[in-house]
Structure 1
């Protein structure tokens, strides 16, 4: 293409971050990295991002790893959303709330979703193994029942 300048990975990261009005500190916190590392991503000091960073970073930036790598154009991104019945019920309930309560729900969801376990796509059943293995001395019967279910799933 005549006159087209290809952006680097770092430039794409910075562009998406700014478009979403996120600070470097926001990205660093959500990734579980320090701000200097995020600046190094944006300045291309670190060009070969491991997939364990690339996937959660793309999720935070509401894009895809292939876009960040320059393998697809941002305008070609199509996100298909097929909410479950539970999600639809939550949406219906949310719509019944006044603006003050919606604000509370939004903040609560934002706080929960900033937890690294929700950002990292690699969070799976193997992370439950550590929980079950380290909590087997609980006095709470309900907790013991949940831990046994976790172990049975593994």
Structure 2
């Protein structure tokens, strides 16, 4: 997969248009088009770093020096694995409702971890 293909794939996964990605990186939509279509071979380091930050990956992944995205290298806890397995069994409507429910739990604050300690809010 080329750098441009990786940029396009991650942009789409993040549900951004070329214009939105360009605005967040500080370049024009036309520049994103050129990056994605291989019309710019050597990206400036500063642009590559900004793209990686906005697309939640690493510059080395974008350049093809890593085989998988940064998130794929993370180890999941048993609870996270169980949650993902159950989530994957839901249809699209069920997945939307599951995400909404989890966001509601976070917003209540009752189940939120304490940032400094990593403990549950009710344990702190």
Scaled by the length of structure 1, what TM-score is found?
Answer: 0.46
Partner of 1:96: 108
CA-based RMSD of the aligned residues comes to: 2.0
Instruction: State whether residues 10 and 47 of structure 1, in contact with CA within 8 Å, keep that contact through their aligned partners in structure 2.
Output: no
Scaled by the length of structure 2, what TM-score is found?
Answer: 0.57
**Structure 1: distance between partners of 2:69 and 2:40:** 26
- Structure 1 or 2: larger helix share? 1
List gaps (5 residues or longer) in structure 2: 76-105, 110-124
Count of aligned pairs: 78
Q: Secondary structure at the match of 2:16?
A: coil
1:54 to 48, 59, 73: 48
Q: Which has the larger radius of gyration?
A: 1
Q: How does 1:58-69 map to 2 (within 5 A)?
A: 58-69=52-63
Q: Once superposed, which parts of structure 1, at least 4 consecutive aligned residues long, lie more than 4 Å away?
A: none
1:21 to 15, 18, 26: 15
Q: How does 1:1-154 map to 2 (within 5 A)?
A: 7-74=1-68, 77=71, 78=73, 95-96=107-108
Deviations 1:35-89 (Å, cap 9, x if unpaired)? 0011000011012111110011011111110000000012565359xxxxxxxxx
List gaps (5 residues or longer) in structure 1: 1-6, 81-93, 98-154
Q: How big is the shift at 1:96?
A: 3.0
**Structure 1: distance between partners of 2:52 and 2:70:** 15
**Structure 1: distance between partners of 2:37 and 2:49:** 19
Q: How big is the shift at 1:8?
A: 0.9
